[in-house]
Amino acid sequence: GESVGLHLPTLSVQEGDNSIINCAYSNSASDYFIWYKQESGKGPQFIIDIRSNMDKRQGQRVTVLLNKTVKHLSLQIAATQPGDSAVYFCADYNTGTASKLTFGTGTRLQVTL
């Protein structure tokens, strides 16, 4: 991901709606991508991952889309719930570089009732 030290952008979504969080990465050699969820005062929690030989992967209520052409990653959360409120980070790495993750800037998701 591209981490530039800026304040976190915020996405406000109404409960029950779908959320789409976007991320850009810069390393064209990255071949593994992960989305993390971080709640206040806690460490990152793994949500879903995708390898570069795929362009879509689905989990429970979450879908990750990968567009290698424009180096873009997105996380879709279906039927967003209040418990989804957190900061979401994408991270990427090249599996040939000792699993060294590069985190994106992050997006704060606020779920309104």
80 counts as binding another protein under rule CB under 8 A? no
Stretch that binds another protein, among 12-20, 30-38, 59-67, 70-78 (CB under 8 A): 30-38
The β-bridge partners of 75 are: 21, 64
3 counts as binding another protein under rule CB under 8 A? yes
Buried b (16+ CB within 10 A) or exposed e, 28-37: eebeebbbbb
53 counts as binding another protein under rule CB under 8 A? no
43 counts as binding another protein under rule CB under 8 A? yes
49 counts as binding another protein under rule CB under 8 A? yes
